[in-house]
Structure 1
Amino acid sequence: MSTRTPHRPPAAETVRDTVTESVGGTVGGPVVEQLADELWDAVSVADEYTAVEVVLGALERGVDPESVLLDVIARVQGKVGEEWAADRLSVAQEHAATAINERAVAALSLHPAARTTPTRGRITVACVDGEWHALPARLLAEVLTLRGWQVDYLGAQVPAPHLIAHLHRTDSYAVALSSSIATRLPTAHAAITACQAVGVPVLVGGAAFGPDGRYATLLDADVWAPDARTAADRLALGPLPRPRPDHQQLDDLPHLADQEYTLITRNSASLVRAVFTALQDAFPAMRTYSEVQLERTAEDLAHIVDFLATALYLGDEDLFAGFITWTAQILTARGVPASSLPPTLAVLGRELKDFPRATRILERGAEDLTPVDHSTAESRS
């Protein structure tokens, strides 16, 4: 590794997407596909002026603002992530493209075609503490505004105490929490519980909660939606389920009583240092790494420990296994051998031999990693 790499409660109410028509074509139709191609051509070369012209031009042609947000800008942002994962965009290019998409959203929100008068209640939209990927939440905020809600958009990385203070000052009908990175789920859980404790129901969304919303259910969120359009549709249907004010985090995750999550997170820095030192013997190629490669390896180890801790918190082996196989794919795309991962998991397992749940999670990750290594080797032969 030497490259930077993100008693069960009743099920959270889930809602699924439906195809809706927009002026200029149906969702995914030829008009929006052409617009998405034009926007991609602009953001991929950091051409902000052209990107904004594409978005405003679509509005002038009568394309529905919601469709521009979700079927053009959001689609292009998804491609930005895919291109980064495939190593066809650098981190800097990905950040620049995201910033341009954010400015395109801002330009759209000021256009006369997107101006609305609030006719519904008040919704607070925020990212959980530690979550810097704000664009999904911003897209939801704009869609809700278009649909007549009064929206308080609080942006990225909102600490739970500040979120609760905002709720005390306002009369929010609901809170919409966004998280893209799974390692933010323990923090998201605290925010969900805190909001519910003051009587405000919580709708959650974002990649962190899983493609089927499984972690929304596990963390006892009131509603999960897979995307902004579906979230807005659900809010329009009527009141959300009222939360239980006496709900506690440990009610959802009784396995946390074993203290494995607490001990590993408390000692994560020393754990990373110990694995880093031992890995130089377990993976001799590391001895030839440059200073920059060693720094990246330390960062990767920290990510692995973070995801292990999150899997412990959730009691979900699949989360860690999925992260490890994804990491192998990211490394391979960058020409870095994924062969460093099995010894890393083995060293980490030895360091955590007295933690049975952590050991099982690491073993599962190693099992799922083996087919990936084989397929990678075959593709290179």
Structure 2
Amino acid sequence: MTAVLDPVLEVAYPRYLHCLDEADENGAIDVALTLLDCGVSADRVLLSLVAPAQAQVGQWWQRNEWSVAQEHAATHISERVVAAVATTVRTRPTRERVVVACLDGEWHALPARLVAEVLRLDGWDVTFLGASVPSPHLVSYLHRHDPRAVLLACALPMRLPHAFRAIEACRRTDVPVLVGGRGFGSDGRWASKLGVAFATDARAASSVLATPAFDAPASPLSLDATEYDALVAARVELIDLVLDRLDLGRYSPTQVDATVADLGYIVDALAAAVYVDDPSLFGEFVGWMCEVLDSRGVPLHTVALTFDVMADRLRDFPRAHRFLLALRPAA
């Protein structure tokens, strides 16, 4: 989370969080616009007020202190705040055009929107394509407009294999690619695995875009997708094997649906870790998932059972089997 350093922001931040908690859209907009009137720069309002508040909202959801409905309401309000700030502080582009988009299947658009607006404030001629842009449509757009670069956002590491395919498709248009988001690791280590430039935040993205050497992408590490492809093919079977071992008679229909979704996330995260050959990806996911499930009263022995069943089925999958055994949570 971005540190809140300005004294004015230290006062405004809890007021802004209160507005999100109360679903007070007008109040949240007033907080942001008052900061602008007090001389706080627009980029600091976006990066040191809206961004950390949204991170806090995510933590509240993760700890089951906020419902999905509350999180969605807060996200919508923050999107409205970003729009209000962008409308109030209008800038004429002095730099080349860049395109900002979320990968297909990525619906967390607010972080990318923040990046787009900060780049706009920094003089770039920004086109923001929003959430979940299908790769063929994105490639067609790049061919038509030939921007200086395309910035791709990925929030979830389990989407990395899809990200790599989108990156390669964009590269075939000869448009340089820059990526960002937690999906590539906080330090960009999985971006390095995929051989693509990474920016930690909006300001870093602007600096990278201004660097001539940015046009020369790094070479991706050799990725053997054989085990990954086989694991993806076994996804439904793995979910069914675990469901057969669970006592679903005690589950409500809603709980069954949630369990199926969670099992799918486990397989997807495992597959992504196999794809980049990095157990830390799966380890970070397991830690996050266990915290979420524990906050919702889900006994973690069911997760241990899930890992045992999957590991038994995946004995002939060396990386997946090793990751499951090494990262199995305590029963």
Unaligned ranges ≥5, structure 1: 1-16, 20-25, 281-285, 374-381
Does 1:160 pair with 2:135? Answer: yes
2:326 to 364, 367, 380: 364
Q: Residues 275 and 351 of structure 1 are in contact (CA less than 8 Å); yes or no, is this contact kept in structure 2?
A: no
Alignment partners' CA distance in 2, 1:98 and 1:253: 38
Partner amino acid, structure 1, of 2:16:
L
Does 1:349 pair with 2:311? Answer: yes
2:221 to 252, 256, 265: 252
Does 1:169 pair with 2:144? Answer: yes
Does 1:230 pair with 2:192? Answer: no
Give how far 1:236 is off. 3.5
Unaligned ranges ≥5, structure 2: none
2:232 to 262, 265, 277: 265
- The residue aligned with 2:13 is 36
Alignment partners' CA distance in 1, 2:179 and 2:223: 22
- The residue aligned with 1:91 is 68
Q: Residues 104 and 135 of structure 2 are in contact (CA less than 8 Å); yes or no, is this contact kept in structure 1?
A: yes
Does 1:328 pair with 2:297? Answer: no
Q: Give CA deviations for 1:97-131 in whole Å, capped at 9, x if unaligned.
A: 001100110111111xx111111111110011110
Q: Give CA deviations for 1:39-58 in whole Å, capped at 9, x if unaligned.
A: 11101121111111111121
Partner amino acid, structure 2, of 1:329:
E
Alignment partners' CA distance in 1, 2:224 and 2:213: 32
- The residue aligned with 1:300 is 262
Give how far 1:309 is off. 1.2
Alignment partners' CA distance in 1, 2:217 and 2:187: 21
- The residue aligned with 1:204 is 179
Does 1:51 pair with 2:28? Answer: yes
Alignment partners' CA distance in 1, 2:4 and 2:16: 16
Higher relative contact order (CA 8 A, sep 6+): 1
Alignment partners' CA distance in 1, 2:4 and 2:58: 21
Specify the SS of the correspondent of 2:95: coil
Alignment partners' CA distance in 2, 1:351 and 1:237: 48
Give how far 1:233 is off. 2.9
Q: Residues 116 and 128 of structure 2 are in contact (CA less than 8 Å); yes or no, is this contact kept in structure 1?
A: yes
1:64 to 32, 36, 41: 41
- The residue aligned with 1:184 is 159
Give how far 1:27 is off. 5.7
Specify the SS of the correspondent of 1:176: strand
Partner amino acid, structure 1, of 2:303:
L
Give how far 1:263 is off. 1.9
Specify the SS of the correspondent of 1:180: coil
Q: Residues 4 and 49 of structure 2 are in contact (CA less than 8 Å); yes or no, is this contact kept in structure 1?
A: no
Partner amino acid, structure 1, of 2:149:
A
Specify the SS of the correspondent of 1:118: coil
1:102 to 42, 66, 79: 79
- The residue aligned with 1:3 is none
Alignment map for 1:93-172 (pairs within 5 Å): 93-111=70-88, 114-172=89-147
Alignment partners' CA distance in 1, 2:298 and 2:260: 15
Figure out how many residues of one structure are paired with residues of the other and give that number.
331
Give how far 1:239 is off. 5.0
Specify the SS of the correspondent of 1:252: coil
Partner amino acid, structure 2, of 1:252:
L
Alignment partners' CA distance in 2, 1:29 and 1:63: 9
Partner amino acid, structure 2, of 1:78:
A
Specify the SS of the correspondent of 1:127: strand
- The residue aligned with 1:288 is 250
